[in-house]
Amino acid sequence: MNVKKISAVWLLVVIAFFLVSGCSTSSTISSVIEPTKEQKKIVLAWGDKPEWTDHLIAEIDKAKWNPAIENPCKTVGLKECLAQILSIMAKYESSFNPKREFKENFKDSKGNWVVSRGLFQLSIESANQKAYGCGFKTEQEIHEPLKNISCMVKIANHWLNKDLVFFGGTKLGLGRYHSVARASSDSYPKILKYMEGY
């Protein structure tokens, strides 16, 4: 028996199995060929960074969000909307450079100059405060992209659940921690422009 005949026989066996078990072959085949909504790839502002994207979405998924939070996006759900907004914020915070650091013009509680670090420009004292609990042991940890992303989601979770908006006024929602998310920032209209697609 040649290969084509063997393949044909196996195909008949598979179809017979689904018929006997009461399954719909058309729906089964369709589910294999057509990706479900959950399987569709989400492309964020930082582009081809699948590890960052997967981690950000996983962190957002496992956090608890107040259902009363206002979704500023028109075509995607709250969680994907947040992922899109955070990713575009990272562009204006660090140009997607995990090694980026910036010396602020104010000091921490110990009198040291505050240095913002990593993708979302976080500083160790503020990130480790009780409200966020990011648990960085060293400043260099902040430069690790996945740890930086995890902390950013905790910050977003704290303020969005409190303010129930992504942006607003002078310092609401994401603007509580990040100046790029405030109306006074030059980056703010650029972020809103990006979000028009969502």
Q: From first to last of its 198 residues, what are the pLDDT tens digits of the chain?
A: 554 444 444 544 444 444 444 444 333 323 233 333 444 689 999 999 999 999 999 999 999 999 999 999 999 999 999 999 999 999 999 999 999 999 999 999 999 999 999 999 999 999 999 999 999 999 999 999 999 999 999 999 999 999 999 998 779 999 999 999 999 999 999 999 999 989
Residue 45's nearest CA partner among 97, 118, 96, 79 is 96
Q: Is there a single domain that holds both residue 23 and residue 76?
A: no
Q: 93: domain range? A: 35-195
Same domain, 97 and 175: yes
Residues 126 and 189 in one domain: yes
* Pair 9, 89 in one domain: no
102 and 20 within one domain? no
Q: What is the pTM of this model?
A: 0.79
- Domain identity same for 129 and 142: yes
- Which stretch of DSSP H or E encloses residue 104? strand 101-107
- Total number of domains in the chain: 2
Q: What is the CATH number of the domain that holds 174?
A: 1.10.530
Q: Are 5 and 54 within one domain?
A: no
At residue 166, the 3 state secondary structure works out as: coil
